[in-house]
Structures are given as structure tokens and as C-alpha cells.
């Protein structure tokens, strides 16, 4: 372990010596910023960009350097032009995102139930079975009704058939048939 510590300490000392005493003089060839010249006859429209795509809005300018080689200066294009359809302004592609899936769509409420006839307001109190048609005696509140087949009661109910032990009555507003127990044929 002592040998390892000695090697690490020596490396640290060598790095510190190089940081403080190394040659800090700049290189002799200093590159200065180049100002783009005004448009001259020497400008050439671009044929292709680095990716091989045609870029009509970008121009390449050629200028001879000190040593005679041609240097290429590319004008800067606004970011909004480069990614016109995908530019989202201040939105960040690397910001926080909510990756939880959206809640399922709300289920449609079930349709309301079909209207049904109210319970029969009549109470059976008796019947008469003589040589003629059968008559049935019904009570509703303070009213007493003597009905036969095809009788309409209060424009709301129609007696369809009387066949003991049941009687069929139609609720006219909804045209729904209901039955009422009237006892046996005795």
C-alpha cells in the first residue's frame, strides 16, 4: 500500500509542476475573426450542404487565404428556418414530461330506461258471469267501475280480455298490456 501511495503522490506532484511551470506562450499563428465582406461578384450560391441536400437559402462565400488556399465561409441561418415545422419556441425537448398514460375516456352513461306503465290503480272486488258477457267490478280510490271487454276507463286504460283467473288491461299512453288477477271462473 505504501508503494501505491508513493506513486499517486508522485503523479500529483508531476501534475502540479506541469500546471504551474509548463510553457504558457501562445502559438505564433493567431487566427482572427473574419468579417463577412459585402456581396461581391465572387459569391457562389450553394449547390449542396454537408449532408448532400440542396439548400437554396444558404450561400457559400469563397475567399483566398494567406497561403493561397480557398476558405469557405458559410452564412448563419436562423434556427426557425432550419426546422420550420418542428420549431416549438421555448418548449424544451429535454424538460420534464409526464409519461403516465391518459385516463381512459369516460364511459357513456347508459340510456335512460324505457318508460313503463304505472302499476294498475284498480282493485278487484267481484265479477258477474251470467248468460251475457262477463262483468268485472273494480275500485280505484272512491270510484267503482263495472267493465266488460273493450271498455275504456278514464281514457287511460282499456280492458282487452276477461278470461278468469286473469284480466288483460292496456295502458293507452304507452300501449303496454298489464294483467290483473280476478279469481277463478266459479
Per-residue pLDDT tens over the stretch 162-171? 998 999 999 9
Q: Would 97 be classed as within a structural domain?
A: no
Q: Would 164 be classed as within a structural domain?
A: yes
Q: Tens digit of pLDDT for each residue in 7-64? A: 999 999 999 999 888 877 766 666 677 776 665 554 444 444 444 444 444 444 455 5
**Using CA atoms, how far apart are residues 71 and 62, in angstroms rounded to an integer?**
6
Q: Tens digit of pLDDT for each residue in 133-157? A: 899 999 999 999 999 999 999 999 9
Q: Would 175 be classed as within a structural domain?
A: yes
Domains in the chain, number = 1
pLDDT at 71 over 60: yes
* Cα first-last separation, the chain: 119
Q: Would 186 be classed as within a structural domain?
A: no
Which domain does 161 fall in, by range?
A: 123-181
Q: Would 159 be classed as within a structural domain?
A: yes
* pLDDT band for position 99 (cuts 50, 70, 90): confident
Q: Would 84 be classed as within a structural domain?
A: no
Mean pLDDT rounded to a whole number for the chain: 79
Instruction: Note the pLDDT of residue 172.
Output: 95
Amino acid at each position: 500500500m505504501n508503494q501505491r501511495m508513493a506513486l499517486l503522490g508522485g503523479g500529483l506532484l508531476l501534475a502540479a509542476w506541469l500546471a504551474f511551470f509548463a510553457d504558457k506562450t501562445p502559438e505564433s499563428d493567431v487566427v482572427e475573426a473574419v468579417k463577412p465582406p459585402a456581396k461581391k461578384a465572387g459569391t457562389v450560391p450553394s449547390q449542396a450542404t454537408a449532408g448532400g441536400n440542396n439548400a437554396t437559402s444558404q450561400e457559400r462565400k469563397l475567399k483566398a487565404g494567406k497561403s493561397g488556399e480557398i476558405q469557405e465561409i458559410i452564412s448563419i441561418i436562423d434556427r426557425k428556418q432550419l426546422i420550420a415545422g418542428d420549431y416549438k419556441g421555448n418548449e424544451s425537448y429535454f424538460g420534464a414530461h409526464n409519461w403516465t398514460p391518459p385516463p381512459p375516456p369516460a364511459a357513456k352513461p347508459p340510456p335512460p330506461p324505457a318508460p313503463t306503465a304505472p302499476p294498475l290503480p284498480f282493485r278487484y272486488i267481484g265479477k258477474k258471469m251470467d248468460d251475457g258477457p262477463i262483468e268485472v267490478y273494480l275500485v280505484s280510490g272512491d270510484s267503482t267501475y263495472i267493465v266488460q271487454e273493450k271498455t275504456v276507463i278514464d281514457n287511460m286504460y282499456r280492458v282487452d280480455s276477461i278470461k278468469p283467473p286473469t284480466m288483460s288491461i292496456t295502458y293507452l299512453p304507452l300501449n303496454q298490456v298489464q294483467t290483473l288477477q280476478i279469481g277463478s271462473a266459479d
